[in-house]
Amino acid sequence: MYFLAQPPRHLFFTGKGGVGKTSIACATAVQLAAEGKQVLLVSSDPASNVGQVFGIDIGNHITAIPSVPGLSALEIDPLAAAQAYRDRIVGPVRGVLPDAVVRGIEEQLSGACTTEIAAFDEFTALLTDTALTANYAHIIFDTAPTGHTIRLLQLAGAWSGFLEQGKGDASCLGPLAGLDKQRTQYKAAVDALADPRRTRLVLVARAQRATLREVARTHEELAAIGLSQQYLVINGVLPAGEAQQDALAAAIAQREHAALGAMPAVLTALPQDRISLKPYNLVGLDALRHLLDDTAAVAPSNTIDLPARLDVPSLAALVDDIAADGHGLVMLMGKGGVGKTTLAAAVAVELAQRGLPVHLTTSDPAAHLTETLEGTLPHLTVSRIDPHAETERYRQHVLDTKGARLDAAGRALLEEDLRSPCTEEVAVFQAFSRVIREAGKQFVVMDTAPTGHTLLLLDATGAYHREVTRQMGTTGLHYTTPMMQLQDPKQTKVLLVTLAETTPVLEAANLQADLRRAGIEPWAWVINSSVAASRPSSALLRQRAHNELREIDAVATRHARRYAVVPLLQQEPVGVERLRELAHLAHGEP
C-alpha cells in the first residue's frame, strides 16, 4: 500500500460517511502495531464505532487494546465537546439576554462546524503536546478537519470573539468565541498538519462518480491551504471474479470501471491504492488483518441464508400515500452519495404517471436526470438550480450589505464564514423558495434540501418568518411563511434517504434529530441501492445482502414511521422507464 510506505508520525483518514475510513484507519493501526510500533488510534467521528470494531468499550480516554499489543485507542466525543462549547458561551448570557436572543446563539452553535472545531480543540494536544504522546511512534486519526475549519483557525483575529463583538450572524464562526486555549497552540497544530514530514492525509473514496467528485473537491480545498501530502484510497472495489456468474455483479463492475476511468484529473496524480470489497462486516481482528490484502475467503453462496422474498414496502407504495393529497411539497434529504437526486426524479415520475402536475427542482450539478426527463413525460416540469451561481450571488449580497459595515478583519472573517457548507444550503434554498409556493396547487419535488440547522439559521437570522409573524400577528389575517409550511405535515413531506449500512443509517438518524429540533418531522425513510432487495447470486454480494438485513430492520423498527426499500439495479436508473422500475421493485422482481 502506497499510503503505508514510510508513514510519518501522523496519519489522517478523511472521507464521506460510509466509504470505510474508520475500517481502514483501524486496519492501518493493527498493521503498524504488528510491526512492533506503539500506536495510538484516535476517532473524532460523531458516529464512531472503533470500540465496536475491536469489541471493547473505549470512550474519551486512552485505552489499551488487549488483543493488539502496542495499540491504544481514544474516542473523542465531538458532540459532548460541542455541548461544552455551547455551555461556556451561552451560560453567562442565559437569563441576561432575552430568550429569543439566547435561542439564536444556541442555534448558531448547533451546526456541523461547531462539532468539527470542538473535536479539533480536543485533539490539538495530541498534535502538539509531546509529553502526552511521547510513547507513540504513530498517531492515527479517523476523520480529519475540513479545509474550511483549518482556514478559520488560521485567520488572524478569529480569537477575539466574533459574535461577542456583534460583527454579524455567523453560522460557523460562533464556536471560535468558545476557544479557551492559547492561539499559539492552535497555530502549532495547523503547522503540524501542513508538514509532510509529520503528517499524511489519506483521502478515502468509493469507485463511484459522486464520491470521486466529492473527494476531488476535498483534495483541492486542502491543497490550497498547504496540506499537499495526500494519498488516495479507493475502497470497496468489486473483485473481477465476482462479475463472471452474476449479472448484477457484472453491472456493478462495469459502473465502477467507468467511474474510475472518468476520475477527476486532480486525483490521478495522487499516489493511489485500491482495496477490494469484502463480504463481511469489518469487525474483529481477523477482518481487519485481511482488509488491506485480498486473501480473505468468501463463503460458498449456498451457505448464506437469505429470505426468498424481502417483504418490504416499495417506493411506489409511499408515492400512493403522497398522491392522495393531490398537491404538496416533497423534500428529499440525506448525506452525499446516497442517491437523493435519483429518488427525487423517481418520486416525480411516479406522481406524474398518475396524471398529477409535478415540478421537479434539483441542484444536482451533473444535471443528467434533468436532461433525461426534459419534455419526456406529460404533467412533469423540471428546473435545475446552479448551486455555484446561487451561492456566489448570495455571498456577494451579504458582503455588500453586512460586509460594508465591517473593518478589514471583520470582513475577512465574514468572507471565510461564507465559504461554509451552510452558505450553499442557504443560497440554494432561497432559490428553491421561489418554487415552493407552487406546492399549494401542484406537487413540488425538491432534491437536496437544507438541514434542520440551516433552516433554523434562516428562521433565526433571516427575519422573514419572524417579521411576517410580527406584522400579521395583530391583524387576524391568515398567513403562511415558508418555515410554517415546512413544519406542516399536511403541506410538506420529508423523505430521508439512506443506504443499508451502519454509518449512513446513523447519519440519517442524526439528521432526523436535527430536523425535529427545527419542528419538522420526517414523513418517511427510503433505503436506497439495497443489495438484499436485488436477489444476487454472487457469493460476496449475498454475504453483503445478509449484512444489510440488520440495518433494514433497524430503520423499520427503530427509526422510521414508514419506509421503503429500493433495490440496486443492474442498469443505472436514468430515464423514465428505469426510474419507474426503480420505484416499483422492492423484492428483486417485477
- Choosing from 17, 20, 178, 462, which is the catalytic residue? 20
Question: Which one is catalytic: 16, 44, 45, 530?
Answer: 45
Check residue 458 and give its pLDDT: 57
**Strand-pair category, 199-206 with 138-142:** unpaired
Q: For residues 20 and 236, is the Cβ–Cβ distance under 8 A?
A: yes
Cα–Cα distance for residue pair 590/579, rounded to 1 Å: 13
For residue 408 the three cell numbers come to 478589514
Catalytic pick among 16, 17, 23, 339: 23
The DSSP code for 70 is T
> Looking at 109-174, which runs of residues are DSSP E strands?
138-142
pTM of the model: 0.79
Q: Which of 16, 21, 278, 493 is catalytic?
A: 21
Check 15, 17, 18, 403 and give the catalytic one. 18
Strand partners of residue 231: 202
Per-residue pLDDT of the chain (590 residues; tens, 9 = 90+): 899 999 999 999 988 777 888 889 999 999 999 999 999 999 876 556 787 778 788 888 889 999 999 999 998 877 777 787 778 778 888 888 888 777 777 766 766 667 777 777 777 878 888 888 889 999 999 876 666 667 666 654 444 444 444 444 445 555 555 555 556 777 788 888 889 999 999 999 999 888 898 899 889 888 888 888 899 999 999 998 888 879 999 999 999 999 999 999 999 999 999 999 988 776 677 778 888 876 655 555 566 788 877 889 999 999 999 999 999 999 998 877 788 888 999 999 999 999 999 999 888 655 556 666 655 688 998 888 888 898 899 889 888 887 888 888 778 777 877 877 677 777 887 787 778 888 889 999 998 766 665 666 555 544 434 443 444 344 444 435 566 778 888 889 999 999 998 878 988 998 898 888 878 899 999 999 999 999 898 989 999 999 999 999 999 999 999 999 999 988 888 778 888 888 887 644 44
Residue 526: CA count within 13 A, CB half-sphere: 34
Instruction: With beta carbons less than 8 A apart as the criterion, state whether 133 and 380 touch.
Output: no
- Crossing angle (nearest 10°) for helices 340-353 and 315-323: 50
Interacting residues of 311 by C-beta distance below 8 A, sequence separation 6+ = 587
146: cell is: 475540513
Q: What phi, psi does 13 have (nearest 5°)?
A: -110, 125
326 belongs to the catalytic site: no
pLDDT at 156: 45
Question: How many helices (H) and strands (E) are present in the chain, helices listed first?
Answer: 24, 15
- Per-residue pLDDT, 306: 83
Q: What CA–CA distance (Å, rounded) separates 174 from 176?
A: 5
> What is the structure's pLDDT at 467?
40
**91: which 3 cell numbers?**
451560560
- Domains in the chain and their CATH numbers? 8-292 (3.40.50.300), 315-584 (3.40.50.300)
Q: Alpha-carbon distance 380 to 356, whole Å?
A: 8
Q: Is 490 a catalytic site residue?
A: no
Any catalytic annotation for residue 241?
no
Encoded amino acid at 187, one letter:
K
pLDDT at 97: 81
- As given in the structure block, the three cell numbers for residue 421 are 457548507
Q: How far apart are CA 52 and CA 44, in angstroms?
A: 15
Chain segment 347-377, per-residue pLDDT in tens: 999 999 999 999 998 886 555 566 666 556 8
The Cα-based distances of 440 to 326, 328, 329, 482 in angstroms read: 10, 6, 8, 12
| Backbone phi, psi, residue 281, to 5° | -70, 135
For residue 584, what are the CA distances in angstroms to 310, 511, 578? 14, 27, 10
Query: Is 22 marked active-site?
Result: yes
What nine digits make up the cell of 376?
A: 419526456
How far the first Cα of the chain sits from its last, in Å, is: 43
Do 471 and 385 form a contact (C-beta atoms < 8 A)?
no
Q: How large is the C-alpha radius of gyration of the chain?
A: 24
The active-site residue out of 199, 341, 381, 503 is 503
> Distance (Å, rounded) from C-alpha 374 to C-alpha 380?
8
Query: Hey, which residues does 142 pair with through a beta bridge?
Result: 13, 43
pLDDT reported for residue 188: 83
* C-beta of residue 151 within 8 angstroms of C-beta of residue 391: no
User: Active-site residue 95, yes or no?
Assistant: no
C-beta separation of 328 from 322 below 8 A: yes
